Structure 1
Amino acid sequence: MKAFLPLLAALPLSSFLVHPTTPAPKYAVADIPATLREGAHAVVRADDEVVTVKSASRLVHTVHRVVTVLDAAADEFGLLGKAYDGLNTLAYLRGAVYDANGRLLHQLRASEIHDEGAGGRDGALISDARARFADLRQPSTPYTVEFDYEIVSDNTLFYPDWQPQTEEGVAVQAASFEVTTPTTLPLRYQERHLPAGCAAARTSAGSQETYAWKLTNLPAVDEEEAAPPLADLTPAVALAPGAFEMQGHKGTCATWQGLSQWNYDLNAGRDALPAATVAKVQALVRDAPDARTKAQRVYEMLQGSTRYISVQLGLGGWQTFPASAVAGNGYGDCKALSNYTKALLEAAGVPACVALVGAGQDQADVHTDFPSAQFNHVIVCVPLKGKGGQPDTLWLECTSQTGAFGYMGSFTGNRHALLLTPEGGKLVATPRYGSNDNRRERRLDLYLDATGSATATARTLRTGQEQDLYMHLLHELGPVEQKKYVTDRLKLPTFTLTKFNLAAKPAGQLPGVVENLALTLPGFAPPSGKRVFINPNLLSRLPALPAQVGERQADLWLPQASLHADTVRLHLPAGFRPETLPAAVQLSTPYGAYASQYTTLPDGTIQYIRRLELKRGRMPRTTYSGYVDFRRKISVADKAQVVLLKTES
């Protein structure tokens, strides 16, 4: 043994260490086809999702997602946040990050996953929702992140959808979607924009059915001008249950009537009011001449006595507080306040029902041909009779203390809602707001002095969807913040905003906001010899659009109708007269209409009248070039200049 010791001492220490196996490289950037890297900020290397329907009340959703971040514009893919709540358990969350050559840089540790409550600000939300966040972003690109997670859901009203490509500049190398369900619970699905040959592959094994989809080599897409959102254009599979169960409450959403019936039954009997509240309502409407007046008084009572607070606790995300609780507490979420409003209206002798709707300015309308839970908000529908007994449906947004009576606007207008009635409801259209509703009417007076400086005053009335943002500014921001917001968006070279205020001004049954402002414009139109060149269109220029590069892919999408009417009066300094006025312009197209005209009034003032009407709609992609031409002609007309001549003194 002693003879062996010198030999041991002579060996290097590394001879006694056991080296862990170094993982083989994977997801090297060089393995991405060049066609997928072109124009891409990120490439989805794998998006493999598996949905296993265990029963009518439980499903499991497993996700393996790998994304290569090619540049800093796609760093968001290095972050992952997954929500969970009392009905959805996040079973695990794992992650890893790799360098450009596919070598493992870091394995996500449990201590690096942050768990946070997903409640609202300032205690405005009662919720059991939480979220776990992981951050694997790297200081330099390219790198690849790999995430795995699994959600076990006891809320089978919602099945996961699959859409691997939803953002601009993201390519997809490979993606798969597999759904297994008992034969007693047939899968309902809708395929959207799938490439040829990618329809579902369906197999059966015993009492189980499996549906599978695959996508490969989808190049990055660009968001084209005046196009629908990418989420409406890229390949997707939407899922929905036939039969489902949530905390013992069984239902079906194979039809809109069935989904409505489940929601109605879940909330039935929760609209009883305290006797004192009923008496108060009846006294309030005793002398009201008609149902609309009664409804308006009830709505004003609601706004003056309640506030919104969201409640998302298990079944409480769908089952309302009793109306008596709202009457006593003075608060509720959208479904509770809508249920309470319906009860108040019925106490006033005005029948009403609540309705489910997808709310949000950018919220897409529901897919009417695929009954499923596509809603996130609750409102009230009041069927009234108008002149001659014609239907005159009234809609009420019950969560706002400042919203106009009967106005849906950008939040819930121009879409479909699902009525909840005892016999099961149906999809109906919410108010459609056209160009005559969404108006912006402006009167501007521009006073030029002999040196070329100017002052201006403008009064602008906005109604309908044109006033939505400004009504928000009026109620949510103070005067200083309002003024800053407007100042930052005035597209003028040099100016000072010397006066500014906003005020609510109803326009018939539509809400309206009046904006008054005054400007000083130093060096606005300096003389050039004996002439002065002026563009009187200070605030209403519509920019041209870029011509299409390559073949247009998306439909033309014009999301909002509007009518802009401007009257500008240019007051001239002494010693100047108009030499040249721009010619009148008149355009009429499928996209809208435009007209502008210049005249000299008897007192020497130059008057410029501009009218622009834009239509709402979705048109074939081949119409985009015509729309570009329409916008180009408007832009040219909006830049037209008046030429003034200095007269001899």
Structure 2
Amino acid sequence: MKTLLPLLALLSLSGAAPRRATAPEPKYPVSAIPASLREGAHAVVRAHDEAVVVKSASRLVHTVHRVITVLDNAGDDFGGLGVGYDALNSLSYLRGAVYDANGRLLHQLRPAEIRDQGVGSQGSNFMSDVRVRYADLRQPQTPYTVEMDYEIVSDNTLFYPDWQPQKSEGLAVESARLRVTMPPTMPLRYQERQLPAGVKVQRSVAGTQEVYQWELSNLPALEEEEAAPPLEELAPAVVLAPGAFEVQGYRGTADSWQSLGKWNYELNAGRDVLPPATQAKVAALVKDAPDERSRVQRVYELLQSSTRYISVQLGLGGWQTFPATAVAGSGYGDCKALSNYTKAMLAAAGVPAYVALVGAGDEEADVRPDFPSAQFNHVIVCVPLTKGARPDTLWLECTSQTEAFGYMGSFTGNRHALLLTPTGGQLVATPRYGAQENRLERRIDVFLDALGGATATARTLRTGQEQDHYAQLLHALSPAEQKKYVTERLKLPTFTLTKFNLAATTAGAHLPAVVETLGLSLPGFAPPAGKRVFVNPNLLSRLPALPALAGERQADVLLPRASLHADTVRLHLPASFKAETLPTAVQFSSAYGNYSSEFRSLPDGTVQYIRRVELKRGRLPRTAYAGYVDFRRKISIADKAQVVLVKTES
């Protein structure tokens, strides 16, 4: 009080009043957003500024300032932010604030409101030091604006941050900037993707440092189009990668696939030595195998029966494998460890093999061959067969106890992989699965009764990538759960599933296959209309039409999978009916695929319907969409063709 009284007296004598705290000036009012950016948008990026400062080959600092206005409830996910960190990437700070529509501060994020949790920490097959701090500033009333700042200090310079401010549908961008600062001895490697005309890197010098800067502004919201590549392949981006890097004392370069592969190979060198007992076990296992392929298959079956998969993301353990001795002793490992262990067992069986890095995932884009960098998330094994009548190459997925021998499927097939060899990396293609491998062959017998009801049996053989999802169902769900899953997805108006079975089998060329057997009761399937009955025999394979082009097409046309669907349906008629009119045969071909269907009356009075659809894989220019719509429209029309039955005179 003694220190305060003279001050208060002085203020009183001078006639001055104590200063009141003033409210902060409004920030980011919604009214300032251009109308062109609000159109079709659920949220608008007001500012997205990233700065990457590369301190050395072993350290970089990444700071982000992000401001997003959420316009409606569909954009609410942008009101929160999760930032990951681990032993090699420390999170210096995470700050946030939220403003109302007029830009007035509603709330400042408090440290106690930030949730910190491990990634996969509750899973029994996950060992990870990765954690996420999550800040949730979503508001019950829109619009509102969220401002977030955070900084990551990384000792893992194998990865540089990528910059893509517009990753989602319905997200517009008012302003965004990327600034990268590099030591003069370390030129930046970067690739510009889908940048608007006129946008390019601006280079300058700040002291002794090289500065690279990109700016984007006034990007309208993107809309996902039918049969288009993922939005992340269409939105503007700058991808960064190191030349030289260092991770926990392990130095390397990534300016070529050869050098990047060499670093990975040397990081794991000497870790593929098996215990003597395991070597002896493998030798005994393959001693009477007739050829290389048989030896590889026996080793693979041993792997599947004696190991299980766990994920390891612990510091350098994200790239450096457990030794093969550890896997032999424990029976578990991650994709690196199990692949390294498989390679070691194959060596003991006298079969050379290579570990390979791959970008795995059903929807994962292939690596960019023209930009060597760490674009991989999985490890598999490549086995070149050098002996025998003809050379061949086997690929092994070592993390699955159920995957078919030599099969990659949708997860790792139809893409590139980086072989790790003593002389460095080699970018090669994994198995390509086309229409002949990805088949669906269905035989349906429909037994009509005179009142319009029917029963049916359906046997469907799926091979290659067509069976991938059903193979997962087979191993992940109980028979009752499988039946429920299939029942919910049968596109029939009224039916009862009277019989159901899924079973794994194999097709030609060692392809995995799944056979589905259904029994169906179809009341009211084809009710008589007077003397006639109209029947569409295509019960389960109709391909819907696509929406017509509403405006100017923006994206390429992506046909993600080649496949061949062949259906044979036989209509068994009651004695009082015969076929009166059969649809004419249909056949057409295009750049998108081929279609044919035909109807025939058989000598025993049944009507046979045969349909064949081959869909091609590829990426076509956006101008091809109209042709693709027409192709699908023709198929949809043909798939609705009806057989006309007439009641015979008694």
How does the TM-score come out when normalised to structure 1? 0.97
Instruction: Map 1:100-179; keep pairs closer than 5 Å.
Output: 100-179=101-180
Structure 2 Cα separation of the partners of residues 129 and 229 of structure 1: 27
Which residue does 1:559 correspond to in 2?
Answer: 560
Deviation track 1:259-296 (CA, whole Å, cap 9, x = no partner) reads 00000000000000000100000110001111111000
Task: Report if aligned partners of 2:291, 2:388 keep a CA contact under 8 Å in 1.
Answer: no
SS of the residue corresponding to residue 197 of structure 2 reads: coil
Counterpart of 1:182 in structure 2: which amino acid? P
Say yes or no: does 1:452 pair with 2:437: no
Residue 436 of structure 1 corresponds to 436
- SS for the counterpart of 2:421 is coil
Contact 2:179 2:214 in 1 (8 A): yes
* Cα displacement (A) at 1:16: 8.0
Q: Are 2:293 and 1:292 aligned?
A: yes
SS of structure 1 residue aligned to 2:392: coil
> Could you list the per-position Cα deviations for residues 393-439 of structure 1 after superposition, in whole angstroms to 9, with x for gaps in the alignment?
11000000000000000000000000001110210000000000000
Counterparts of 1:310 and 1:460, CA distance in 2 = 35
Q: Please identify runs of 4+ aligned residues in structure 1 that moved more than 3 A.
A: 15-19, 385-389
Q: Secondary structure at the match of 1:383?
A: strand
Equivalent in the alignment of 1:467: 467
Residue 385 of structure 1, CA deviation: 3.7
- 1:279 to 2:266 alignment: no
CA distance in 2, matches of 1:626, 1:491: 27
State whether structure 2 residue 218 is matched by structure 1 residue 223: no
Shift of 1:119: 2.4
TM-superposed deviation, 1:206 = 3.6
How far residue 533 of structure 1 moved from its aligned partner, in angstroms, is 0.7
Q: How many angstroms does 1:120 deviate by? A: 4.8
User: 1:620 Cα deviation (Å)?
Assistant: 1.1
Change in Cα spacing, 1:233 to 1:433, as seen in structure 2 (3 Å) is same
**What pairs with 1:615-634 in structure 2 (closer than 5 Å)?**
615-634=616-635
Secondary structure, aligned partner of 2:280: helix
Aligned CA-pair RMSD: 1.3
Report matched runs for 1:360-509 at 5 Å. 360-385=361-386, 388-389=389-390, 391-508=391-508, 509=510
- State percent identity of aligned pairs: 75
Q: Secondary structure at the match of 2:373?
A: coil
CA distance in 2, matches of 1:640, 1:20: 77
- In 1, Cα distance between the equivalents of 2:388 and 2:223? 50
1:608 correspondence with 2:615: no
Inter-partner Cα distance in structure 2 for 1:568 and 1:314: 57
User: What secondary structure sits across from 2:385 in the alignment?
Assistant: coil
Secondary structure of 2:123 counterpart: helix
Which AA in structure 2 matches 1:437? E
2: CA distance, partners of 1:71 / 1:173: 17
How far apart in 1 are the matches of 2:83 and 2:72? 24
Deviation at 1:550, TM superposition (A): 1.0
Instruction: Describe the superposition over 1:376-406 as per-residue Cα deviations: whole angstroms up to 9, x where unpaired.
Output: 00000001147654x3111000000000000
Kindly state the Cα deviation for residue 643 of structure 1 after the two structures are TM-superposed. 0.6
Distance in 2 of aligned mates of 1:519 and 1:386? 50
Provide the C-alpha distance between the structure 1 equivalents of 2:323 and 2:205, rounded to a whole number of angstroms.
Answer: 46
SS at match of 2:185: coil
Tell me, yes or no, if structure 1 residue 30 matches structure 2 residue 31: yes
1:529-608 maps to which residues of 2 (within 5 A)?
529-608=530-609
- CA–CA distance in structure 1, aligned partners of residues 559 and 389 of structure 2: 34
| Contact 2:166-2:236 at 8 Å conserved across structures | yes
Deviations 1:489-542 (A, max 9, x none): 111111111111100011131000000011111111111111111101000000
Question: C-alpha displacement at 1:101, in angstroms?
Answer: 1.0
What is the match of residue 261 of structure 1? 262
* Residue of structure 2 equivalent to 1:51: 52
Secondary structure of the corresponding residue to residue 289 of structure 2: coil
Instruction: Give the distance between the partners of 2:154 and 2:399, measured in 1 at CA.
Output: 29
Which has the higher mean CA deviation after the structures are superposed, 195-204 or 371-380?
195-204
How many Å apart are 1:205 and its aligned residue?
3.1
Name the aligned partner's letter for residue 241 of structure 2. A
| Residue matched to 2:3 | none
The SS at the match of 1:626 is: helix
Q: Distance in 2 between matches of 1:18 and 1:131?
A: 42
Q: Deviations over 1:300-335 (max 9, x none)?
A: 000000000111110111100000000000000000
| 1:321-371, Cα deviation, whole Å (9 max, x unpaired) | 000000000000000000000000000000001000000001000010000
Structure 1 residues 86 and 337, CA, compared in 2 at 3 Å: closer, same or farther? same
Q: Following the alignment from structure 2 to structure 1, what is the Cα–Cα distance between the partners of residues 183 and 162?
A: 19
**SS of 1:447's equivalent?**
strand
**Cα separation, partners in 2 of 1:385 and 1:604, compared to 1, 3 Å:** farther
How many residues in Structure 1 have an aligned counterpart in Structure 2?
Answer: 636
Q: Within 1, Cα distance between the matches of 2:608 and 2:206?
A: 78
- Counterpart code for 1:532: V
CA distance in 1, matches of 2:18, 2:361: 61
Q: Deviations over 1:165-184 (max 9, x none)?
A: 11111110000000001011
CA distance in 2, matches of 1:24, 1:36: 24
1:212 aligns with 2:213: yes
Partners in 1 of 2:592 and 2:400 — Cα distance? 34
Secondary structure in structure 2 of the residue aligned to 1:570: strand
Distance 1:638 1:454 in 2: 20
